[in-house]
Amino acid sequence: MMTDLGTLSYFLGIEFQRTKDGIVMHQCKYSSDILRQFNMHHCNLAKTPSKTDMKLEKDGNDNQLLEDEAHMVNIVD
């Protein structure tokens, strides 16, 4: 059985907005919630937080554990 829940506006952290050109998907609310959770909502904005042409490589320290692993897991989850 299916039920009509109306116009889709928010699902799994993604917001949907109808425009005259179609549907826009964004994660503004999700981003704001993450920034508030880690007390970073007052930080300055940056168009691109890192170099766009930077090549990432392994540093060889595969066994090195993070100091605060639980904190980092919260950021990713």
How far apart, in whole angstroms, are the C-alpha atoms of residue 33 and residue 10? 14
Using 50, 70 and 90 to split pLDDT, how confident is the model at 71? Answer: low
> Which distant-in-sequence residues (6+ apart) come within 8 Å of 10 by Cβ?
16, 29
Phi, psi of 14 (to 5 degrees): -115, 130
- pLDDT score for 63: 53
Q: Which tens digits make up the pLDDT trace of 11-55?
A: 888 888 888 888 888 888 888 888 898 888 888 877 766 677 777
pTM check: above 0.85: no
